[in-house]
Amino acid sequence: MAIQTFRGVQALRLLSAVLVVAVHACRWYDRDADPRSPAPQGELLGDVCVATFFLISGFVVVHVVDTGHDRDWRTFAVRRAIRVLPLAWAMTSTKIVAALVAPGAMFDGGLDTTRIVASYLLVPSRDPAGAVRMLWGVEWTLVLEVAFYAVVAVAMAARIDPVRLATPVLLVAAALSLWQRDDGSVLWFYADPVVLFLVAGMWLRRAVSTGRVVPTAVGIGGLAVVGAGLAAARGDDPSGAGAGFLLVTAAFGFVVAAERRRGRLVPAWVVAAGDSAFALYLTHPLVAQALPRLLGLTGLDAVPWLPVVVASTALSVLLGLGVHRFVDRPVGRALRRRLVPTPDATRHPAGAR
């Protein structure tokens, strides 16, 4: 019997979102609180969490294709749009209103028409300083994911296996990062080696369906070599890039492999909370920045970083849960009833984004 909800993947998704919030809270504490004792910077941890997000996205997309959950490309595209756009648009609108009411809140550049339109379309654009940056900063991951969804939709429309089409497209996108220029077209934003994790996620889900574990493991080893080679060509540490890719992907693969025997050990509340990870990720800047900013404005620079980060993370989690339950989920359900012909009877393994 096919697994409909991968409980371990849900737990990973929730954990990754919470850790991203904590990493950002540390960064905002150092930026805004003018601390005597800076918070630790968790850039590596943040990178691991983002990689896990992309693994999950690749995994989920192949799941909905292989199980026939989205029977055609139109249904797939509509479901993905419903899942991503309402909350993304709400956050972009929130940033625009905040920038108009309090211009000093724009830490990442000003407003212009091109940037506003691009943010609503979830395509890259430049801020006034020339940096490629979304109005709602954390939505940069959605720019890559929406492009991935578009490739999968094209494959489904052309009746091509999405894994067969998306794999070479993503490999080319990763390879093109070698020629990426800061002053080039904004389209270079899509040339990012992180998309290799989308490929790995797709392959791991296909391995669940086919049982081809050894070829998948060999292929993932090949992806690690590609990542290491790209790092070396850019002048970065190739061993760290290759080993990091293998470790993160292997850990994710272990969680997937343990699902049948150990998945039931994941508490039901964790599975349910995993559905809110998308809302948590998108909304956490609303509150995770508030306490550090308040400390900076009041001059209370003696407050240690740990209680501030813990409180900021906890408030973000509560907000994410609330937004998911009272906004994101009911809006999505209403839109699916109106726009998707058949009922949403099958759950996604990780609350697909």
d(Cα 152, Cα 195) in Å, to the nearest integer?
14
Domain assignment present for residue 158? The answer is: yes
Which residue segment(s) compose the domain that 92 sits in? 49-211
Does 324 lie in the same domain as 303? Answer: yes
Of 211, 237, 255, which residue sits at a domain end?
211
Does 69 lie in the same domain as 206? Answer: yes
Of 171, 195, 211, which residue sits at a domain end?
211
DSSP string, 46-73: HHHHHHHHHHHHHHHHHHHHHTTSS-SH
* Residue 155: burial class (beta carbons within 10 Å; 0-12, 13-18, 19+): buried
Does 18 lie in the same domain as 136? Answer: no
Q: Looking at the 3D structure of the chain, how many domains does it have?
A: 2
Domain assignment present for residue 228? The answer is: no
Summarised one tens digit per residue, pLDDT across range 209-261 is 999 999 999 999 999 999 999 999 999 999 999 999 999 999 999 999 999 99
Q: Is the dihedral of CA 141, 167, 238, 125 positive or negative?
A: negative
Domain assignment present for residue 261? The answer is: no
Domain assignment present for residue 78? The answer is: yes
Domain assignment present for residue 226? The answer is: no
Domain assignment present for residue 304? The answer is: yes
Q: What is the pLDDT of residue 346?
A: 43
Residue 67: CB atoms within 10 Å: 16
Chunked mean pLDDT (size 10), the chain, 353 residues: 80 97 94 79 94 98 91 94 97 91 68 92 90 92 98 97 98 96 90 97 96 96 97 95 97 95 94 96 94 85 88 97 97 95 51 47
Domain assignment present for residue 307? The answer is: yes
Q: Decide if 295 contacts 38 (C-beta within 8 A).
A: no
Does 170 lie in the same domain as 31? Answer: no
Does 115 lie in the same domain as 157? Answer: yes
Does 65 lie in the same domain as 182? Answer: yes
* Residue 68: burial class (beta carbons within 10 Å; 0-12, 13-18, 19+): exposed
**Residues with Cβ < 8 Å from 4, sequence gap 6 or more?**
67, 346, 347, 349
Does 3 lie in the same domain as 150? Answer: no
